[in-house]
Amino acid sequence: MRALRLLALVLTLVTTAALPLSPARADASGVSAVVGFDCTDSRLQLILENRTTATKTFTITWQGRTGSPWTRTVASGGNALLYWTVPAGTPYTLRTVTDGFDTTRSGTAGCGLAAGAPQLNSTALLRTSTTITGLNGPGGPYDGTARSVRIPGMAVTGNGTIVAVADARVDGSYDLGGGTNNIQIAMLRSTDNGLTWQPPRVIHHPATTSEGAGDPSVLVDRTTGAVYVFYTYSPRPGISFWSAASGSNAAGDPASLHIQYVKSTDHGLTWSAPVELNPSVKAPSWRQLFASSGHGIQTSTGRLVQPIVYRDAAGTSHAANIYSDDHGQTWQRGSSASGNVNESKAVERNTGAVTQNMRHNSVRARHLATSTDGGRTFGAVTASPVLTDPLCNADETSYLTPAQRGANGAPVRTATALYSGNAHPTARNDLTVRLSTDDGATWPSRALIKPGAAGYSTMAVLANGQVGVLYEIGDTGGIVFARFTLDWLRTA
């Protein structure tokens, strides 16, 4: 018990280049101190952030705690994470003071986001030590681990079940087509808004371990209740996004990546056989293509939209969408949203327009293009002056619960949107969530939820109105689920 009362080591102290202050914050001083709880390792966390142009020295006091007070000096644009290993139910009062800033956070350590508990929780869902049921091996199915777990995807079904998916990169951290190409799709489900999770299991693997299936994306048809997990299939080692063109869109083309999906009609309990889409969505002239990971959307018209990436005949990469107007019976490809870009997310605005939020290949800012025909064709592309991007997949999504549906069963429209991505301008660090209430024109509320290393992320609005963020920590750091309330984000 004595060990539980001792201050744990400071986990990280990250310094970044100075970043501009947000135009409106709960604390106008430009610094923040938010409390979270790591449900997996039972750690109370204090996240300090300094978005001013001057170095700040913070003093943190926990009256009666061994080692209190503590000081941390944080450079301009930097952050620091302190944590204490404590059992759930431990009361805390943390006072944080620096120039022009004095705040006290009190409550009881624990998970669940109940009143008085930290309003930011995190749970490690997959690690390289996590046993995954149903992996495919040379001798058939087995339960084992993957050397790398990456590429999160997530959505919430009509009854509130969270479906979270990721690459189980069995033999190493390579992308599809690299190494042995042994990549399989693992899934976890939660039926209590992310408080507990069922063990991970494989929901799709190719026939052999030299074939790969990865980059999963979850899309829910609110009208029918069907859940789709799109993924990219590589038929053999060496067939990657950078492979040469085959000039074919045949279903069995052995020289091309393929977009496929599996489907569930029971909230992720069981899944269909794979459905091949290349004949209908791949132009034969494209060199390669893949499904953009994370999630797709259903628009207010009922259209299903899944972002993709393709390389044209000249080798330039493009973001685009495939879409269905008949609840997944048939799929078509749309036009390029922009060139020299990569993974993207589609989001419907309150006007009915669809914005593509894209990762650029070289410019370190999110790129945006708008469609007035449901994500099929797009106007001019612009770089966001606010949303930084260290060349990493991120997410923008509408704030809508599964129950917010129109007469046709499809989601309604809203001007409230959420964004998750790296605040660090040049490294996959400092995962930050932002809130907009004006269709993404401004992002006045923001909060740092993961200082230090954090890569791809995706979000979902839970049935109870809380927000879930699923993110990766490098090739081997794991897949983590964090959740928070909208009120917490507004005041963080």
Residues with catalytic annotation?
175, 343, 456
For residue 457, the SS3 value is strand
Max alpha carbon distance in the chain (Å)?
71
Main-chain phi, psi angles of 232, to 5 degrees: -110, 135
Give the Å distances, CA to CA, from 77 to 32, 50, 54, 187, 486.
12, 5, 8, 36, 24
Identify the CA nearest to 165 among candidates 145, 138, 190: 190
Report the alpha-carbon distance of residue 87 to residue 64 in Å, rounded: 17
Report the alpha-carbon distance of residue 226 to residue 223 in Å, rounded: 8
Walk across the sheet containing 227-234 and list its strands.
Answer: 275-276, 258-264, 227-234, 212-220, 294-295
Report the alpha-carbon distance of residue 340 to residue 310 in Å, rounded: 10
Tokens matching residue 352: 């009915």
Identify the CA nearest to 356 among candidates 428, 466, 440, 420: 440
Tokens matching residue 444: 């006045």
Identify the CA nearest to 378 among candidates 351, 410, 346: 346
* DSSP strand pairing (120-126 vs 31-38): parallel
Identify each DSSP E strand in 372-466 by its residue range.
Answer: 381-388, 395-398, 417-422, 429-436, 445-453, 457-461
Report the alpha-carbon distance of residue 41 to residue 124 in Å, rounded: 9
Tokens matching residue 247: 């000039």
Residue owning tokens 């996004």: 241
Residue 374 makes CB contacts below 8 A (sequence gap 6+) with 299, 301, 303, 305, 323, 354
